[in-house]
A and B are shown apart, each in its own frame.
Chain A
Amino acid sequence: MKETVKKRFSIGKILMYTFLIIASFISIFPFYWMFVMATRPSAAYNSIPPTMTPGDRLVENFLAVLDKIPFFGAMWNTLVLCAVVTLVVLFISSLAGFAFAKFKFPGKNILFISILLTMIIPPQLGLIPQYYLVAKFGLLDTLFGAMIIFFLNPLGIFLMRQYIGQSVSDELVEAAKLDGCSNFRIFRSIVLPIILPAFATLGIIVFTATWGEFLWQFTVLRDPESYTIQVALSSLNTTNNVDFGMMLSGVFWATIPLVVVFLMFNKLFISSITEGSIK
């Protein structure tokens, strides 16, 4: 009797490991395959059985990408865009979070709830007028035009209010006030150092989300010089006889930096994304 119970559990273990290994394989196979195609000529694609080992065209394929799109310029644009959006969101969210967590003022609850309510407005609702506004102010094909709508981040204010409420004690704020600190000085010298971990969490969420954004950039960036990497990559697939080796080389080199950063900090990444969703 005891033996059968033990045996059943070990079969369960084997099944679970098998399931997990298959799932992991499916998750990472496209990354490997992307690399294989990035090192092969397009013709390799037509072979049966399919090519599964890397070839020798790593450099040639990437040079072909550089021929088609301003790859490094687009990567730089994306980096600047994501960095500015992240910093602005961190600044706006932590200041507002500080106000909501530590100050008393009329209308506080209504204002906070109204910020949360803005989350349910789908971004497409304002797409046409936003485009019109950006066009009117001459911001089409500019990075500022491409980043401005991402400054709004209600989730950031929510997370910051939670974190400041929990980790910055009221006594500390009051004591600083009695020492004659101005409110902004309290924010800068007392609150900011305490909430740095929350900055890491929110920063990762905002940066990753902004990195992958497509619809808005695709709408306002038409000049290849102003492309972000997502728009540039998508433009590789607009002709019918596309060179797959070249295309996946572009995708591979655009994906690898984020993969490296993720592999280095994967625990922080995963805990940040989880926290941002279930708080």
Chain B
Amino acid sequence: MTTASIQMIRKEGEKLTTQGKGKYRSEQTKDKISAYLYISPFFIIFAIIGLYPAAFSLYLAFQKWNGLGEMTFVGLQNFSVVLNDPLFWKSVYNTIIIGLMGTAPQIIIGIILAFILNQAFLKFKNTFRAMIFMPYITSMVAVALVFGVFFSNNDTALANYMLNLFGMDSMNWKTHEWGAKIAISVMVFWRWIGYNTIIYLAGLQSIPKDLYEAARIDGANIVQQLRFITIPLLKPFIILTVFFSTVGALQLFTEPTVFLGASAFSRTEAMTVVMYLYRDAFSLQSFGTGSATAIILLVIIIIFSALNTFLTSGIGKKRKEYKA
């Protein structure tokens, strides 16, 4: 259909609608009904499995309940039980340490990889990109099991073999305070580095090539190009990945649970906040404290994602002030 004919039809339509205002009105009402109908599935499902459970969690956080018997109102007791439990704070500490070790290095290495992948001279660009992205398509369970063998408590574990090569002692990865955290951080890093790299790559491709050209003519080396062109212009993309990484890291559950297997909920070296929540609710049948933990977790997520987003958006600003 050509634009001219569409416009003609449109004019005809306008004539028709001005002729019969009643018909136009009913047409509008019909549109409104259609629109509400089309967006209703989301809201109906959200009401049942999103809003109701969230509200119920809020309610449960003030009750004592084992899932079967009567609920009893206990006020803030669940919160004080959780907040006075050393294990809860240990799980917060573990989550933050693993999150930091697993995600922070991704920003730097991801940017470097994206920077290289964006070079014009590079051959086999798509092959390299596909290889680096491949870990992302493996499930977290698969990653945890493969790295679970790599980091097993055996002297002959591949990770220990490599430590021995460098003259270091073997480590009990699954039971050592730092061993477990390092192993889990490595998994997180391995699976997500490719994802972050392609986000940065998309960001780099949006930076005009002549900027680098001009910098090169002015004698800027690669490090200077990275520092003064790439990173400032990449800022929105860095903020995005930092936000995703923060939220994701604070919800860590699958990797430590599957990595530790049978001992996942009885050991404390790598217990995360969500594991603590899960253990409360589904091993100890204490739904009240579990819900209180969920709400505390929500608060932690809001605080940390706001803080990290704020800190990352500060990167470029400082430089500007410094320049001026």
Contacts and interface: CB of A to CB of B under 8 A. Distances in A.
B128 interface: yes
Contacts of B1: 172, 175
Interface of A: 8, 12-13, 16, 19-20, 23-24, 26-28, 30-31, 33-34, 37, 45-50, 91-92, 95-96, 98-100, 103-106, 108, 111, 115, 118, 120-133, 148-149, 151-152, 154, 157, 171-172, 174-175, 177-178, 183-184, 187, 208, 211-212, 214-215, 218-219, 229-230, 233-234, 236-240, 242, 244, 247-248, 251, 254-255, 258-259, 262-263, 266-267, 269-270, 273-274, 277-278
B222 interface: yes
7 contacts: A23-B109, A45-B149, A99-B38, A132-B287, A212-B138, A230-B139, A269-B133
Contacts of A45: 149, 154, 156
B113 interface: yes
A129 B56 contact: yes
Contacts of B295: 125
Contacts of A30: 135, 143, 146-147, 150, 190
Contact of B42 (A130, A152, A218): A152
A273 B198 contact: yes
Contact of A27 (B146, B194, B262): B194
Contact of A175 (B6, B138, B149, B158): B6
Interface stretch (B28-36, B78-86, B316-324): B28-36
B41 interface: yes
A62 B149 CA distance: 17
B99 interface: no
B156 A48 contact: yes
Interface residues of B, number: 107
Interface stretch (B47-55, B89-97, B207-215, B307-315): B47-55
Closest 10 pairs between A and B when the two form their complex, measured CB to CB: A126-B53, A129-B53, A129-B56, A103-B35, A212-B139, A99-B38, A237-B261, A183-B34, A24-B131, A99-B35
B183 interface: no
Given A122-B247, A233-B141, A20 B50 contact: no
A61 B150 CA distance: 18
Interface string B263-277: 000000000001001
A274 B287 CA distance: 38
A267 B221 CA distance: 31
B290 interface: yes
Given A27-B194, A238-B262, A258-B138, A121 B35 contact: no
A45 B161 CA distance: 11
Nearest to A44: B156
B6 A270 contact: no
Contacts of A151: 45, 49
Contact of B39 (A27, A99, A171, A208): A99
A278 B206 CA distance: 12
Contact of A251 (B6, B131, B135, B146): B146
Nearest to B28: A104
A137 B269 CA distance: 37
Contacts, number: 287
B103 interface: no
A132 B67 contact: yes
A259 B138 CA distance: 8
B30 A183 contact: yes
Contact of B294 (A23, A98, A124, A267): A124
Nearest to A214: B254
Nearest to A37: B149
B100 interface: no
Contacts of B10: 171, 174-175, 178
Contacts of A27: 131-132, 134-135, 190, 193-194
Contacts of B142: 233, 251, 254-255
Contacts of B274: 124, 215
B105 interface: no
B145 A251 contact: yes
Contact of B35 (A8, A105, A214, A236): A105
Nearest to A231: B141
Given A123-B251, A178-B16, A215-B253, 16 more contacts: A19-B113, A20-B116, A27-B194, A45-B154, A103-B32, A104-B32, A121-B54, A124-B297, A125-B298, A127-B294, A148-B49, A152-B50, A178-B12, A208-B137, A255-B142, A263-B130
Contacts of A34: 146
A122 B146 contact: no
A104 B33 CA distance: 10
A248 B138 CA distance: 13
Given A30-B190, A237-B261, A251-B145, A126 B32 contact: no
A258 B142 CA distance: 12
Given A96-B42, A251-B146, A277 B53 contact: no
A259 B45 contact: no
B282 A219 contact: yes
A6 B76 CA distance: 69
B188 interface: no
Interface string B1-44: 10100110110110010000000000100111011101101110
A174 B39 CA distance: 20
Given A215-B253, A238-B261, A128 B291 contact: yes
Contact of A50 (B16, B42, B131, B161): B161
B60 interface: yes
Contacts of A50: 156, 158, 161
